[in-house]
Structure 1
């Protein structure tokens, strides 16, 4: 009888352990990263232009994003004739830029936001430049404004390192169309302080290569 009781207890304990194992929820898988916030490295190093971007995964093979650009520079110049300090001049130059570039990444391998991709992009930017001067050696003042629209197609690769460091690299071609308007004001020579103004408008096209490198955080 004791052997029967021991056998029944063993069966009951085995059934209880099996039921506990069956009821326990399976371990959760790590949540896939859906958003990347990044900063472009090359514009920051090349021309003091800050470009930040946000990207969102909308499908296993597709993500969309928006890059914003901003830049500001200021330079001051002062000149004089050696041996004659009474003849001098000074100028103050300021330049600003704002831009936006919507984009998409179509992933050829992997699952967004990692893998090999192609990326079509469109962009628009506005740049304006102001220069003012005083003194006999100054060249007067001028205002320069530039509107630019363009598009690009890049081939690249994205990877996420560690807990969320996102590295994205791409290269391809881009084209841009720009309209420039420049207004110049200066005192006419041989007149008693008469200021003349001249406006020039130009149009330009550009087609060339483009390389992008950005780092950011994926979450």
Structure 2
């Protein structure tokens, strides 16, 4: 919940700073250089998902002054072998996910303003039990889902860009089968064979450059 509060605060601060820069009545409107015709900016940065975990390489490509496409490649894993933070976890895991999306800018210009948009989430998880006595040691799961996010992109000097976002998502997860390394045989899918639906919040902070 602290991560959610941090992102919410960041969004309000960014929006407030943008509002302060709006010229009032009687004030001269600052001259903004017109974008070159046919030129579309691109953002590349590192994203930290505050609620899903892991790290992501984030990219965003401007379509026009009010919209863009985005793509995140996220990796998450259990770091119990290097840290004691997850020493009590029952499983080791590795998640690889692709997260394409669309963003519609409600205020400001693309890559520098308030936006809202959907995101698709596709991933696969490899899990391994830590119980050496159990006959089943490793299995895989796949997941597909989506989310709706609202966020703010702030473009600073020399193209340095900070982004923050919050939203809600829904994910469907299903096992691909269990594998025992001793016998090398596949077993019935563990748990609910129909899969499960998981709903939850989303949030991330990204830093990078736009050019």
- For this structure pair, what is the TM-score category when the shorter chain's length is used for normalisation? 0.5 to 0.7
Partner residue of 2:67 out of 62, 70, 81: 62
The DSSP-based 3-state class of the residue aligned with 1:139 is coil
Give 5+ residue unaligned stretches, structure 2.
Answer: 1-32, 82-90
Length, aligned pairs only: 165
The DSSP-based 3-state class of the residue aligned with 1:163 is helix
Distance (Å, rounded) in 2 between the aligned partners of 1:186 and 1:34: 49
After TM superposition, where is structure 1 displaced by more than 6 Å over at least 4 residues in a row? Answer: 30-33, 194-197
Change (3 A) 1:186 1:102: closer
Q: Does 1:129 pair with 2:127? A: yes
Higher relative contact order (CA 8 A, sep 6+): 2
Distance (Å, rounded) in 2 between the aligned partners of 1:155 and 1:112: 14
Q: Does structure 1 conserve the Cα–Cα contact (< 8 Å) formed by 2:52 and 2:202?
A: no
Q: Does structure 1 conserve the Cα–Cα contact (< 8 Å) formed by 2:58 and 2:206?
A: no
CA RMSD after TM alignment: 3.2
Q: Does 1:38 pair with 2:45? A: yes
Change (3 A) 1:46 1:116: closer
Distance (Å, rounded) in 1 between the aligned partners of 2:69 and 2:184: 51
Q: Does structure 2 conserve the Cα–Cα contact (< 8 Å) formed by 1:142 and 1:182?
A: no
| Alignment-derived partner of residue 107 in structure 1 | 105
Identify the structure with the greater strand proportion: 1
Q: Does structure 1 conserve the Cα–Cα contact (< 8 Å) formed by 2:104 and 2:117?
A: yes
| Alignment-derived partner of residue 52 in structure 1 | 57
Distance (Å, rounded) in 2 between the aligned partners of 1:196 and 1:117: 49
Q: Does 1:218 pair with 2:210? A: yes
Change (3 A) 1:31 1:144: same
TM alignment of 1:54-93, pairs within 5 A: 54-73=59-78
| Alignment-derived partner of residue 153 in structure 1 | 148
The DSSP-based 3-state class of the residue aligned with 2:49 is helix
The DSSP-based 3-state class of the residue aligned with 2:110 is coil
1:130 offset after TM fit, Å? Answer: 3.1
Give 5+ residue unaligned stretches, structure 1.
Answer: 1-28, 77-92, 188-193
TM value normalised by structure 2: 0.66
Q: Does 1:117 pair with 2:124? A: no
Which of the two has higher C-alpha Rg?
1
Distance (Å, rounded) in 1 between the aligned partners of 2:100 and 2:185: 42
Distance (Å, rounded) in 1 between the aligned partners of 2:135 and 2:80: 16
TM value normalised by structure 1: 0.64
